[in-house]
């Protein structure tokens, strides 16, 4: 994220001189967002066209970037320029269709007023359009940062809208990368500091400063530690747990120049039974970028996706409600369930003990 912020200042000061009139929100933050919002395919071949003898994985894999992220750059390793979702994953998942979702999450110089619900609804609409003839095809989601919140909101909306219910029922697993389920401490203060610093930098460079907001404080507020929106989404989402596997990846290195973890482990983890918690030895930005198939973190991630597909995709009995029932049975701890039950109030149901008809 920090690289994109620095790029914003540099592009903002030069774009009007070298590129002529264009959309400022696009040019100021990330030129490769020129395609606009959408769901873009990253797999070269359609399902069934693979010429490999490897086992086919009939699954859709959908990646969702985070705050100030990009549908391509978020997943691209800077030195090798490898976009693992396109350059590596399709080879390890023959038969899979891989997509990346682009939405306007720019933090700086954005004219967008779209909300988390707007992002979620658009994701559902795009998914429906590519799955019209194969709406029961299993789905694995890969979500970074704000993308995980957008995904949770989308699945909650799918639950109550029959037009999108098949998307929820087809979801077999989610890989969360540093998703701030409990918010980010001090994110509003950080946003204000960034906005002020950019204003100063732009004036010093002689660039014209946009009138209106420099920073999208509404998005920052939604991701703050005391966010009511986050709390409501997380509370409602717990009712969906058991339907799909959860893999949680958290950052273990500080992000410069902030000198801190952006999303700490406590906020990144959902804290639910069955959640698989894995640390990535990288900062918030680099944790979802891999330079080769030999990268240890990539191996863990692709193995998790393959395992999900082998368990569910190759066993039709583990689809829909059957899949949910099996996962719920496997995840229930009887002793923990009993301890969660409310205690009996003294005197309750004593009449049963004194009624002969109730005794065998």
The arithmetic mean of pLDDT across residues 185-209, rounded, is 57
CATH number at residue 33: 3.40.50.1820
Tell me what pLDDT residue 26 has: 28
The arithmetic mean of pLDDT across residues 10-38, rounded, is 44
Which band of pLDDT confidence, cut at 50, 70 and 90, is reported for residue 349?
Answer: confident
For tokens 């490769």, what's the residue? 32
Tell me what pLDDT residue 141 has: 98
Highest mean pLDDT among 14-18, 50-54, 161-165: 161-165
Which band of pLDDT confidence, cut at 50, 70 and 90, is reported for residue 312?
Answer: confident
The region of weakest confidence among 8-22, 39-53, 81-95 is 8-22
The region of weakest confidence among 45-54, 121-130, 186-195, 294-303 is 45-54
Q: Which residue has the higher pLDDT, 26 or 167?
A: 167
In whole angstroms, give the CA distance from residue 168 to residue 138. Answer: 10
The arithmetic mean of pLDDT across residues 278-298, rounded, is 96
Mean pLDDT of the chain: 80
Tell me what pLDDT residue 107 has: 82
Which band of pLDDT confidence, cut at 50, 70 and 90, is reported for residue 283?
Answer: very high
Q: Which domain holds residue 135?
A: 2-358
Whole-prediction pTM value?
Answer: 0.76
Q: Is the pLDDT of residue 77 over 50?
A: yes
Q: Is the pLDDT of residue 23 over 70?
A: no
Show contacts of 151-155: CB within 8 Å, 24+ apart.
Answer: 151/64, 151/120, 151/123, 152/233, 152/234, 152/237, 153/116, 153/117, 153/119, 153/120, 153/233, 154/120, 154/121, 154/123, 154/124, 155/237, 155/240
| Count: domains in the chain | 1
The arithmetic mean of pLDDT across residues 78-83, rounded, is 96
Q: Which residue has the higher pLDDT, 322 or 66?
A: 66
Give the pair of three-digit tokens for residue 41. Answer: 């395919």
Task: Using a pLDDT cut of 70, give the percent of the chain over it.
Answer: 70
Tell me what pLDDT residue 327 has: 47
Which band of pLDDT confidence, cut at 50, 70 and 90, is reported for residue 262?
Answer: very high
Tell me what pLDDT residue 345 has: 73
In whole angstroms, give the CA distance from residue 140 to residue 207. Answer: 43
Q: Is the pLDDT of residue 32 over 90?
A: no
Tell me what pLDDT residue 67 has: 93
* Count of beta carbons in the 10 Å neighbourhood of residue 145: 30
Tell me what pLDDT residue 355 has: 78
Which band of pLDDT confidence, cut at 50, 70 and 90, is reported for residue 207?
Answer: low
Residue 253, exposed/middle/buried by CB under 10 A (0-12, 13-18, 19+)?
Answer: middle
Tell me what pLDDT residue 30 has: 33
The region of weakest confidence among 58-62, 200-204, 258-262, 266-270 is 200-204
Which band of pLDDT confidence, cut at 50, 70 and 90, is reported for residue 20?
Answer: very low
């Amino acid at each position: 994220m920090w690289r994109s912020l620095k790029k914003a200042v540099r592009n903002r000061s030069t774009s009007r001189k070298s590129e002529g009139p264009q959309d400022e929100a696009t040019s100021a933050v990330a030129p490769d967002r020129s395609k606009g919002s959408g769901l873009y395919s990253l797999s070269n071949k359609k399902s069934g066209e693979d010429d490999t003898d490897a086992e086919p994985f009939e699954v859709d894999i959908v990646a969702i970037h985070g705050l100030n992220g990009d549908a391509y750059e978020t997943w691209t390793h800077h030195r090798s320029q490898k976009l693992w979702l396109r350059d590596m994953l399709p080879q390890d998942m023959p038969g899979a269709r891989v997509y990346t979702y682009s939405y306007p999450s720019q933090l700086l110089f954005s004219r967008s007023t779209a909300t988390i619900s707007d992002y979620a609804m658009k994701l559902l609409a795009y998914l429906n359009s590519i799955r019209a003839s194969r709406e029961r095809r299993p789905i694995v989601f890969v979500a970074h940062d704000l993308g995980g919140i957008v995904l949770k909101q989308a699945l909650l909306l799918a639950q109550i809208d029959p037009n999108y219910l098949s998307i929820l029922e087809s979801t077999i697993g989610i890989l969360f990368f540093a998703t701030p389920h409990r918010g980010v401490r001090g994110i509003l203060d950080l946003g204000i500091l960034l906005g002020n610093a950019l204003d100063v930098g732009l004036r010093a460079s002689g660039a014209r400063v946009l009138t209106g907001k420099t920073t999208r404080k509404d998005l920052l507020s939604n991701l703050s530690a005391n966010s009511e929106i986050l709390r409501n989404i997380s509370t409602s989402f717990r009712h969906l747990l058991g339907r799909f596997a959860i893999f949680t990846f958290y950052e273990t290195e500080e992000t410069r120049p902030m000198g801190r973890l952006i999303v700490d482990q406590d906020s990144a983890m959902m804290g639910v039974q069955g959640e698989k918690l894995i640390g990535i030895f990288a900062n918030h930005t680099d944790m979802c970028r891999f330079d080769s198939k030999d990268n240890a973190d990539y191996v863990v991630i692709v193995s998790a996706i393959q395992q999900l597909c082998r368990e569910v995709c190759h066993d039709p009995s583990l689809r829909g409600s059957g899949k949910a029932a099996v996962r719920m049975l496997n995840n229930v701890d009887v002793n923990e369930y009993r301890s969660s039950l409310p205690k009996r109030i003294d005197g309750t149901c004593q009449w049963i003990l004194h009624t002969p008809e109730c005794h065998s």
